[in-house]
Amino acid sequence: MNDKKNIQYVDDGYESMGTLIRLRSPALVIGLILGIGISFVASSFEEVLSHNVQVAFFMPFIIYIADAVGTQTEAIYSRSLKNGNARFNTYLKKEFLLGLIFGLFFGIFSALIILLWLGSGFLAAAVGLSSFVAVATAPIVALSVAQTFQSIRKDPAAGSGPIATVIQDVISVIIYGLVASAIIL
């Protein structure tokens, strides 16, 4: 499965600026385009945001925490791919469980903080459940994107980070918007 000889890995220590731009910019441009799409997705939840402006307070948190978990997964898996030590099914099982564990922890923790801070059970439930689901999906998205880059013989470390991040951002916004709408409206 490891065809690392056929992949040009990005290495700032050895590559020219032109090569670095050529290898890194495609994923960043795709991320830019899809990132703009996140605004359109978020705007579709205008009703719940206008109903309770506090919903907006936690969108960055949910996006961030899911991205952080996904970024860890992607970095660890990409490193293992380059070293030739990666077994997708092993990573998939472990990262799925880690996503559930971290999702449960961050979901409960964020719900408790919101309940204590703002006293809103509905908002606490929306943020807690959304955090759980978004974090639980993040490792799967990160692994899938990194594996896809490896499969098409592109450096997973250079390409999968920006693409997995923007995909997870869209997923997190959709999850939060749907959950918040269902609970708060």
**51 sits in which H/E element:** helix 46-51
Give the domains, in start order, of the chain with CATH numbers. Answer: 4-184 (1.10.357.20)
For residues 66-88, average pLDDT = 91
Q: CA 156 → CA 30, 76, 120, 144, 177, distances in Å? A: 15, 11, 42, 11, 30
Which residue in 170, 184, 178, 168 sits closest to 53, CA to CA? 184
Cα distance between residue 93 and residue 27, in whole Å = 27
Chain position carrying tokens 């092993």 = 90
Chain segment 112-166, per-residue pLDDT in tens: 999 999 999 999 999 999 999 999 999 999 999 999 999 998 888 888 889 999 9
C-alpha of 24 from chain center: 19
For residues 89-99, average pLDDT = 96
Chain segment 17-71, per-residue pLDDT in tens: 998 898 889 989 998 999 899 999 999 999 999 999 999 999 999 999 999 999 9
Residue 13: count other Cβ atoms within 10 Å of its Cβ.
4
